[in-house]
Amino acid sequence: MSELATTPLRSSRPSALDPAQSTPLLPTSPSSPVAALTESAKKAVSFAAAPVTSASSSASSSSSSSSSPISSASNAISSSILNATSASASPSTSKHASLSDTPSNPASLTPQPKRRRSSLKAGTKMPVQPPPEHWKHADPLLRRLRLRDPLNKGHYANLQHTFRDAKVVLFMFGSTWPGMSREPYQLVERFARENPHRCKVVYVSVDTSEATFNSQIQGKPWLAMEWNDGSNLSEGSDSSDHGVPSEPFLLAGDTDLEEDLHHSDPQGSLYTRPYSRVFLAEKHGVLGVPNLLVYHLEKREVLTTHARFDLLKPERWQGTWEKWERGEKISFSLGDVFGAMKWTLAFAAAGTAYLAAVHLGGAPNLIHGYTETLSRTFLTRGA
């Protein structure tokens, strides 16, 4: 003990003046306080330099050499903290996974309304290949139509043969309902019979059933656009209305990618998607029926989209036809204004003449006397 007391301890931390190899510590017994201090210092240095995983093992070994109950308690606390941390992280992870893995329920979402599309897309194989005579024509509008001829048992019309001598095509947009006026249809029918070769009428049906459509074309001097083109999608219609169209008809809202094809194909030898009834009505802004559209074949121009039916009356149809045959548009003139308001203008003229006769000619004012009599009668009763 005297030797240990007289010999000073050298610091384990070398000074700047000491050589690189310092004198090692004196050997001590493990049971001495110096040995315990030295071992604790070494383990503290190793704990600071080691990674986190090895630090826990070195700390447990050092604490076990000094006090085993404290080491067990600290290890238990560390394990509980780690378990609590992992347990608190795992629910959020599992919750996140469950949210991403759980599929959305389609029944809870509001179904989006489907816009009506064509029955077949362009470029697909058609169920029925139409013969070339049904669509081959130089006119850019006629080649897009599928026309049935009621006088030929409802078969498709041969465009080249049917419109060989035609100058003007009238598109009659019509429908049938109870209490409707038959006069517009009768005027168009009479006009078509007066010019059977130079004027062709195409009936564009807006009917709700195929039966009413057939009643409008039977025995009439006009062609009819194809009924089974996808235009009628009403749930109340009979089953025949829901047949699959034989061609990819363009419906309302569809984009016509072949509208300018006639510039590169002037003879009409290439097949193009046909127009449906609803597409033709949307294209020309037809919002109501009956409606008459006039198309000139030589000019390839729509003369009017809303022709007046009084132009087809017997006293005016000859002049109307001469202008339409030359491709002239008929504007609404002053004479048309007087013709449409003839009764209104007649009553206005009679009233003006009567007032002039009363104030200037001394004629008895019958209206004034009658109104005074009514006023006295009702005012006396009210009092």
Rg of the chain over all Cα atoms, to the nearest angstrom = 50
pLDDT of residue 52: 41
Q: Indicate if 231 and 292 belong to the same structural domain.
A: yes
Q: Indicate if 305 and 194 belong to the same structural domain.
A: yes
The whole domain housing 42 covers 26-83
Of 67 and 246, more confident: 246
Q: Indicate if 321 and 345 belong to the same structural domain.
A: no
What residues contact 218, with CB distance under 8 A and at least 6 apart?
150
Q: Indicate if 315 and 178 belong to the same structural domain.
A: yes
Q: Indicate if 192 and 214 belong to the same structural domain.
A: yes
**Residues 265-323: pLDDT tens digits?**
998 889 999 999 999 999 999 999 999 999 999 999 999 999 999 999 999 999 999 99
Q: Indicate if 55 and 162 belong to the same structural domain.
A: no
Residue 74 falls inside a structural domain: yes
Q: pTM of the full predicted structure?
A: 0.59
Residue 122 falls inside a structural domain: no
Sign of dihedral through CA atoms 338, 344, 346, 352? negative
Residue 327 falls inside a structural domain: yes
Residue 6 falls inside a structural domain: no
Residue 12 falls inside a structural domain: no
Helix (H) or strand (E) holding 173: strand 168-174
Residue 361 falls inside a structural domain: yes
Q: Indicate if 279 and 232 belong to the same structural domain.
A: yes
Between helix 33-49 and helix 52-66 the angle, nearest 10°, is 170
Q: Indicate if 53 and 145 belong to the same structural domain.
A: no
The tokens of 4 are what? Answer: 């240990």
